[in-house]
Structure 1
Amino acid sequence: MADPKKKEQNIIKNLSDHHSTVMETLRRRPVPSSSIQSRGKNDGQRKISQRKTSNLVEHHYNFDSQRNLLPGLPKQDQDLARDIHDFFNLIILVPIIALNVLNWNWDKLFKKPISKFGIPFVDSWTGLYFNEFFLTCMAYFVIDLLWVVIIPRSVKSPMVIIKHHVATILYLQIPYFVPSTRFLFGVLMSVEINTWCLIARRVFNKQGFPPWTINLPFLSMVSIRIKLISICFYITWISIRCLLYPYVLLVFYKMATAKGGNYLNEKERMALAIGVCLHAVFCYLNACWTIDLIYQKIRQWKSKEKIISSGL
């Protein structure tokens, strides 16, 4: 009797090879003459359609030579440095997320999220494990920063990661020295849930299978896993990066104006001002990545419509 595990590996290999062939065919697909003519009529649209995608979108999605979004994820070749770094992140982010969860009173958070001063989340933050949470986060960002500096090939955009981690390490000093802002530390670090999903989405789908069209009758758990991670990724991206992060800017404002402006002392106000500037940068990056992703998705849908209408 054939070994089930070996059979499973063969199925994955065959599917992966087939997927690679399809992707290569799509990349080499000739552009219809009608499309070329329509492009020539509108140079402005052509320039927009060929604009460079952001690093985050480019590294986690498939594109053809015309920078059109393709189904599935980029196929991951063997890369020990990248794989070790990815698994480090997947492991270390778990206790960070868990410690964040332990620092909240979830009954209050769901029943009465707004304090008497009109500030969201503050009364729900217990901070019982703040020191452990803070030290774990600092250790993670410092180690990861040094890792990328020493082994830059472990990530695709080392300078982006380095800048992000330096800004984050500076940002983390605010809740440490200004206790009244520690609840925001917990709120903002919830983004690591999305970071975990982003990395897991790549690590657990190295073959680059399209998560929404994959159909593996003999490997249903693989299909479920890929779909589940993708669903969690998009849910946390929208809820945290697109909604919660901009909302925190409003929380900053509420803190500054609460109690007639006497809620914070001078030191806290200065820290809050620095925090607003840094947080605005993170919101800007999230907005850029989101807009770029939506733009590419729209282009992909339009491309499909053109192919169907032309009979291709």
Structure 2
Amino acid sequence: MVTFSAPVRCPCPHSAPLALFVISCLLLALASAGCGHKAPKPPPHIALPGKKKAGSSGKIPATQRPYVVKGVTYVPIPSAKGYRERGVASWYGEPFHGRHTSNGEIYNMYGDTAAHKTLPMGTILLVRNLDNGRSSVVRINDRGPFVRERIIDLSYTKARELGVVARGTARVEIVALEEAGERPQASMAASPGPAPPSRPQAPAATRPQPRKSPVPDFDRGNFFVQVGAFEHLEEARTRARSFARLGRDVVIQQYPAAGMNLYRVLVFASHSLREARKYEAHMRESGYRYTLLLAR
């Protein structure tokens, strides 16, 4: 015979709280086991490896990126402002004529370009031969020369102007006159260039007169064309006299450039900006490739 009896209650007064404590511990353990595979998040100021910050991938022109030649790393400088350097110049010609330069242009040994290891592409340089005093202007469009102590590789034409072709090298000083992508008013220099054209295509200029009252027309003013800039005053005077003999009004103005004083020769073009631009174009066609149009 089976009999049933009522459940026996634990006389311990703390049995209920103890059971709740045990159940809470079990639930906590289960919760910990369920999320144990998740790694703690790093502090917000520490970036995870392999990830880049937004907006940090700014593009750098290929010609401004570091490059390696014969195990040597060259790092192009961001600006040519105030750049001056002395060293050995060389030149390169026939084997490279018609090939691509570092900036993608086709190399022309008869052009007015040069190669430098680190200057920005497009930089305009005044190159002076320290042995014979000759000077000329070049534009950087290539990298090199990768020979110790050499600082610039000239085109054949520029090397011939400076008297470098026969010897192959010469001691020179280079001075940055114009940064890449810029064209400041007082920044160009030129070696003794072609004779001034005997028959200017632009109408004969009249002597500039001071304006009595401002004219609300941007086409009006006193416009000059810079036809050269020289280290020595006498060279500037020689250039100025050649234009003065043609009846042109000429001004010689001294200005600083990269820590040195140059004398620029300004030829009055016209009171009209439109006519002055025509005269500037005419001067370029006549062989003055580095003319600048200025307003005074």
TM range, smaller chain: under 0.3
Which TM-score applies when normalising by structure 1?
A: 0.24
Q: Could you say which structure has the higher helix fraction?
A: 1
* TM-score, L = length of structure 2: 0.25
Looking at CA atoms only, which structure, 1 or 2, has the larger radius of gyration?
Answer: 2
In terms of fraction of residues, the more strand-rich structure is: 2
